[in-house]
Amino acid sequence: MKIGPMGYLGDPDLHDGYLTGLELIEEHILQIRLRNVVGKRFTMELSGLHLLLANEIRQGNIILNIRIEHRRDPDPSLMRQLIGGLHPSVGEPYRTKHEDYFKRMADAVRNGDLTLVAVEASYGCDLVALCKSASIAEG
């Protein structure tokens, strides 16, 4: 697995490929089934799954990009998408607790305790997760 300087997965090349399935193997392990444009199949495994959000699963989920951020500043928009925001009416102490949680999760990615993974779709399923580690293998 090769990740470029901006956190985008470069090898294997899954741009315009497909997300074909999601399977929770155990409470903290997610397997993501992927297929590239020539039909070669891959499985991405997220171990130590901490948070997961997968939206808009459809027939024919086309991958735009896969991002894997580890030991770097995580993309704040992906973190907000995953962790969520607060309604404007939410007051203290909940607002401060939520912001502290967001900061702790971002710090965990920055210092290498967690990995932020995003499968960004051009059609269909957008997936964002925080996990201990991510790997990808053929099959």
Q: Count of domains in the chain? A: 1
CB atoms closer than 10 angstroms to residue 119: 24
53: Cα within 13 Å, side-chain hemisphere: 12
Predicted pLDDT of residue 75: 96
Sign of CA dihedral 36, 41, 47, 51: positive
Question: What does 50-109 look like in DSSP terms, one character per residue?
Answer: -EEEEE---SSEEEEEEEEE-SSPPPHHHHHHHH----TT--TTHHHHHHHHHHHHHHHH
Per-residue pLDDT of the chain (139 residues; tens, 9 = 90+): 888 888 889 899 999 999 999 999 988 999 999 999 999 999 999 999 999 999 999 988 999 999 999 999 999 999 999 998 888 888 888 888 989 999 999 999 999 999 999 999 999 999 999 999 999 999 8
Measure CA of the first residue to CA of the last residue in the chain; give whole Å: 14
Q: What is the pTM of this model?
A: 0.92
pLDDT in tens, 115-130: 999 999 999 999 999 9
Residue span of the structural domain in which 71 resides:
2-138
